[in-house]
Amino acid sequence: MSAQWVVYQEDELAIEGEWTLAHFPQLKAAIAHLPAQAGQAREISLENLQAIDTAGAALLVELLGVERVGEIHAWAPSLPAERQALLARIAQAMSSSLAPKPVSEPWWHAMLALLGQQVDALWHQQLQLMGFTGLVVATFARILWHPRRWRLTAIVAHIQQSGFNAVPIVALLTFMVGAVVAFLGATVLRNFGATIYTIDLVAFSFLREFGVLLAAILLAGRTASAFTAQLGSMKANEEIDALRTQGLDPIELLVLPRVMAMLITLPLLTFVGMLSGLAGGAMVASLSLDIALSQFIGTLERDIAVTHFLLGLSKAPVFAFVIALIGCLEGFKVKGSAQSVGEHTTSSVVQSIFMVILLDALAALFFMEMGW
């Protein structure tokens, strides 16, 4: 038994020393060493109590019981008034049960519930996306005949932000991937003495797939996140509600300009990507495969049908639409806090990249079956 904090002898309990937060662990240990009936001691002396704060008071209330401490003015009138007030107040605070309801469920319950929640959330997300698509298309159809409501300024601003400003990064990235594809092709094809087909490899891959795919993935990371963050912070700041109460349509004002800008931007960026991917391939071809630039261009003209270019380009508006929609929808889903903005931004990037790759795979299957 620690003599420093609490002494129990012959049904008399003496509380001593500093009952403060700094000594909380020692106090707890001292109380744990007391016999069980100590709390019901006949006499309690607080004469030597040097200091007490809320932490010490909580322990004291736990030791002596709420009722007894609640009537402290009756049995310890010599205690300074503010300490009486503190103890009475803490006893009052602890009179109702403190512990929140414990969750007692078998672990597999929680796991199944989580799985169900995830599937349900996924299903709702797809429903929401489809509903949102319908809403945007309907709004678009409504304003199509009113050119005054096209918000050209906003569209141009978004084209600059999400398109023009992204040209350097798209060009650089596709240039480097073009060079890598050319190297890869040269390494494999050299064994068959077919190095010259490196040109076809680079051209096929960039016109049909990589040009549009790389541009779309970059925009998914760069622009979908920006849309979500912009709309999300507006939502958190109740700006979107303010628009609605003024009878203005946030879809028309905020979503359509972004969707339109993306529909214009992504095909253009795809074209930039294709060109600079081919340039990367041509550079590797002329520097390390001894294929002159004129031969590269000649082979392109002769072997590669324009269909491939058109097929690749045809996917750009679809990707653009999906990326812009997911970015805006996630922005609208933001609730209140800054943390929510962050979560939805992450979610919008992951979803839009996933959708782009999924759609690209489906398109590749379709084009192959059609023999295009």
Partner 1 sequence: MSDRQTKHKTADQEPVISVRGLVNRFGDNVVHDNLDLDVLPGEILGIVGGSGSGKSVLLRSIVGLKRPDEGCVEVFGQALDSLDSQQRSQMERRFGVLFQRGALFSSLNLQENIALPLIEHARLSRSDAEYLARVKLSLVGLPASAALQSPESLSGGMVKRAALARALALDPDVLFLDEPTAGLDPISAAAFDELLVTLRDALRFSVFLVTHDLDTLYSSCDRVAVISQKRVLAAGTLDEVAATQDDWVQAYFHGPRGRAAQQAASTHHLQE
Instruction: Tell which positions 286-325 bind partner 1, by CB under 8 A.
Output: none
Q: Which is nearer to partner 1, 100 or 193 (CB)?
A: 100
CA distance 57 to 63: 10
Give the range of 8-16, 19-27, 244-252, 354-362 binding partner 1 by CB under 8 A: 19-27
Give residue for tokens 């919008």.
348
Q: How far apart are CA 340 and CA 342, in angstroms?
A: 5
Contact between 67 and partner 1 by CB under 8 A: the answer reads no
In whole angstroms, the minimum distance from the beta carbon of 104 to partner 1 comes to 14
φ, ψ (nearest 5 deg) of residue 18: -95, 105
Does 58 help bind partner 1 (rule: CB under 8 A)?
Answer: yes
Binds partner 1 by CB under 8 A, chosen from 2, 8, 45, 93: 93
Phi then psi dihedrals of residue 48, to 5 deg = -100, 15
The answer to whether the beta carbons of residues 330 and 348 sit under 8 Å apart is yes
Contact call for residue 117 and partner 1 (CB under 8 A): no
User: Which is nearest to 352 in space by CA: 266, 251, 287?
Assistant: 266
From residue 262 to residue 291, the character string flagging contacts with partner 1 as x (rule: CB under 8 A) and all else as - is ------------------------------
Contacting partner 1 (CB under 8 A), which of 32, 99, 141, 306?
99
Decide if residue 126 touches partner 1 (CB under 8 A). no
Sheet holding 6-9, edge to edge: 6-9, 12-19, 43-52
120, 274, 293 from 353: Cα distances, Å? 21, 19, 35
**98 contributes a contact to partner 1 by CB under 8 A:** yes
Alpha-carbon distances, residue 124 vs 26, 129, 202, 352 (angstroms)? 53, 8, 41, 16
- Report the residue number, 232 or 273, with the smaller CB distance to partner 1: 232
Find the binder of partner 1 among 18, 53, 200, 209 (CB under 8 A). Answer: 53
Determine contact, residues 195/154, Cβ cutoff 8 Å: no
Q: Does 25 bind partner 1 (CB under 8 A)?
A: yes
**Interaction with partner 1 in 139-168: which residues (CB under 8 A)?**
none
Output 67 or 82, the one with its CB closest to partner 1.
82
**82 touches partner 1 (CB under 8 A):** yes
- Answer whether 230's CB lies under 8 Å from 189's CB: no
Count of CB atoms situated within 10 Å of the CB of 87: 24
Q: Which stretch binds partner 1 (CB under 8 A): 24-32, 196-204, 267-275, 363-371?
A: 24-32
Q: How many residues bind partner 1 (CB under 8 A)?
A: 30
Token readout for 196 is 């010259």
Task: Yes or no: say if 272 and 169 are a contact pair by the CB < 8 Å rule.
Answer: no
Q: Which of 1, 4, 11, 28 binds partner 1 (CB under 8 A)?
A: 28
Alpha-carbon separation of residue 198 from 177, 182, 307 (angstroms)? 14, 6, 19
Select the residue interacting with partner 1 from 1, 21, 127, 305 (CB under 8 A).
21
Positions touching partner 1 (CB under 8 A) are 20-22, 24-25, 28, 53-55, 58, 82, 85-86, 88-90, 93-94, 96-101, 335-340
